[in-house]
C-alpha cells in the first residue's frame, strides 16, 4: 500500500509515494540530474526538454489510473528516484505494460531500487488483467540486471548494439516478469 516507508541499508529513511502535480518542478530537476549522473538512459541530458508544465500535465493524466503508476522515492525531503509503469493500450497487449526505473547516483546501492520495485510489484499484482511487466536495461548496468533477476524478471532477448553511449555500442537487454 502506498505510501510506504523503508529504511535503506545506510540507515536513511525513504518514503515511496505516488507523484503529485506539485512535484512537477522537482521532477524536472531529478530527471536532469539522473541523465547527468549515469549513462544508463536512452536520452542524453541535452535531449531532455525540462518543462514543468508538461510534467504536471503528465502526472495529472495518470492520477487515479489503474493502468499506470508514477512512483517517487523521497529521502531527506529530496526526490531520489522514480519508477514509471504504463499498461499497454492495445487490446492484444493490454495484459502487459512497460516499466522504467531511475535512481540518483547518491541513492544507488543502498536498497532503494529494490524497495521501489517491491512496492511496484505489490501494486501491480492487485491490478486485474495485468499479467506481464516488461523492461529494457543496458548491458552496461549489471547491478540493475541482477536486481531484476532476483525479483523474478527473466531475459527475453537482446537488441545488440541498439544504443550508442560515448560512441560505443551498448546492447539493450529485454526482460520481463509474468505475474
Q: Are 91 and 97 in contact (CB under 8 A)?
A: no
User: If you average pLDDT over every residue of the chain, what do you get?
Assistant: 95
- At residue 22, does pLDDT exceed 90? yes
| Burial class of residue 154 in the structure, from the number of CB atoms within 10 Å of its CB (0-12 exposed, 13-18 middle, 19+ buried) | exposed
**Mean pLDDT value across residues 132-146:** 98
Domains of the chain, each with CATH number or no CATH: 4-178 (3.40.630.30)
Map grid coordinates 536520452 to a residue: 43
What is residue 96's predicted lDDT score, i.e. its pLDDT? 98
- What percentage of the chain exceeds 90 in pLDDT? 91
Each residue of 81-127: pLDDT tens digit?
Answer: 999 999 999 999 999 999 999 999 999 999 999 999 999 999 999 99
Q: Please give the Cα distance from 4 to 34 (Å, whole number).
A: 23
What pTM did the predictor assign?
0.95
Contacts of 118 (CB under 8 A, 6+ apart): 151
- At residue 128, does pLDDT exceed 80? yes
The answer for 152, left when phi > 0, alpha when psi is -120 to 50, beta otherwise, is left
**Mean pLDDT value across residues 56-60:** 94
Amino acid at each position: 500500500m502506498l505510501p510506504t516507508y523503508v529504511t535503506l541499508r545506510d540507515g536513511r529513511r525513504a518514503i515511496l509515494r505516488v507523484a503529485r502535480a506539485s512535484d512537477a518542478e522537482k521532477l524536472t530537476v531529478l530527471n536532469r540530474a539522473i541523465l547527468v549522473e549515469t549513462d544508463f538512459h536512452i536520452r542524453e541530458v541535452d535531449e531532455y526538454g525540462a518543462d514543468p508544465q508538461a510534467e504536471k500535465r503528465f502526472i495529472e493524466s495518470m492520477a487515479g489510473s489503474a493502468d499506470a503508476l508514477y512512483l517517487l522515492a523521497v529521502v531527506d525531503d529530496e526526490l531520489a528516484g522514480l519508477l514509471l509503469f504504463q499498461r499497454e493500450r492495445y487490446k492484444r497487449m493490454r495484459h502487459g505494460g512497460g516499466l522504467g526505473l531511475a535512481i540518483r547516483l547518491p541513492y544507488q546501492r543502498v536498497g532503494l531500487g529494490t524497495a521501489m520495485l517491491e512496492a511496484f510489484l505489490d501494486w501491480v499484482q492487485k491490478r486485474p488483467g495485468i499479467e506481464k511487466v516488461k523492461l529494457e536495461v543496458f548491458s552496461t548496468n549489471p547491478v540493475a540486471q541482477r536486481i531484476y533477476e532476483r525479483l523474478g524478471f527473466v531475459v527475453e532477448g537482446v537488441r545488440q548494439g541498439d544504443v550508442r553511449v560515448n560512441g560505443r555500442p551498448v546492447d539493450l537487454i529485454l526482460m520481463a516478469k509474468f505475474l
